Amino acid sequence: MQAIEQLCSNLNAGKENNMTKWECPCGYVYDPEEGDTENGISAGTAFEDLPEDWVCPKCGAQKDFFEPVD
C-alpha cells in the first residue's frame, strides 16, 4: 500500500504544473497530458503555454472560447 501512496503523491506533484483540461464550446477537450501533436503541440504543454494563434483542431475556435474543466 505504501508504494501506491508514494506513486500517487508523485503523480500529484507532477500535476501542479497546470495540467487543467480545457473544453471548447464544440465539445473538444484540450488535455495537456496529451497535447495536440497533430498541430505541433507536444504532450505536457499546459493550455496557458499554447501559442496565441493555436485554435481548436475541430472547429477552429480561438483559445478565448475555451473553459477550464474540473
Which residues contribute to the site for Zn ion (CB under 5 A)? 24, 26, 28, 56, 58-59, 61
Q: State the cell numbers at 40.
A: 505541433
Smaller CB separation from Zn ion, 23 or 46: 23
Name which of 14 and 25 has its Cβ closer to Zn ion.
25
Provide the minimum distance between the beta carbon of 21 and Zn ion in the complex, in angstroms, as a whole number: 13
Q: What share of the chain is helix, strand, coil (3-state, %, to 5)?
A: 30, 15, 50
Residue closest to 17 by CA, chosen among 33, 35, 28, 40:
33
Nearer to Zn ion, 19 or 26 (CB): 26
